Amino acid sequence: MKLNGTMLNTHTHNEYTTDEIGDEHILTSIETPLRQDAFDLTDKEKIQIIQTHFAEIMKTLGLDLTDDSLKGTPQRVAKMYVEEIFSGLNPANFPDIKLFDNKYQYNEMLVEKDITFYSNCEHHFVPIIGKAHVSYISSGKVIGLSKINRIVQHFAKRPQVQERLTVQILNSLKEILKTEDVAVVIDAVHLCVSSRGIKDDSSKTVTAQYSGKFLEESTKSEFLKYISYH
């Protein structure tokens, strides 16, 4: 198809190659794609399997695993994957959230901004580094401020797509707080863009998701003013 003399790519989703899915940043689902047997193995078993496979990757690259600096790398990477940077895949690791009555009767928006997070692009397994800005209006219940940060971190600690991360945080807060009035904005740098491919190290990606009163222009504008996007 041509538009003003320029050839446009008109692939349907099923026609995309695996390279195009990564480079074109295609989102396939709101839920993180997991197999039904995702948690049949223990963390210890997963670490052992990943360690073995990562050692093979390093050997294939030509690295000498007898070197003191490298011989512990497969185990370190495996533990990092399971216990740290991808620990958010397991729902058992979701933070313990306690609800409290809104005894102050504070009925305006609460904004927690500049929440730093580190995630990983699911297309290339390289870092996404960003800040999340979250707001909600209480319907009668509140949570501790640090719990908002922990919810962001939980969903960030998965192979991710930024759009999905934004929606997952919003949906989780709506369910926990029993309110429709939630807003999430994420501003992030993707190393799959800055360190490979186009190698643009100055661009950022911004995503936003609003529900309830935040769909009203006045409420949305107030939130964006607080986080300096307006």
Please list the active-site residues.
Answer: 121-124, 162, 190, 192
From CA 35, how far away is CA 55, in angstroms rounded? 24
Amino acid at 6: T
Q: b/e for 169-186, b at 16 or more Cβ within 10 A?
A: bbbbbbebbebebbbbbb
The answer to whether 152 and 115 have CB atoms below 8 angstroms apart is yes
CA dihedral 164, 168, 170, 172 (to 10 degrees): 180
Name residue 184's beta-bridge partners.
134, 209
The answer to whether 54 and 45 have CB atoms below 8 angstroms apart is no
The answer to whether 1 and 10 have CB atoms below 8 angstroms apart is yes
From CA 150, how far away is CA 96, in angstroms rounded? 9
The answer to whether 164 and 208 have CB atoms below 8 angstroms apart is no
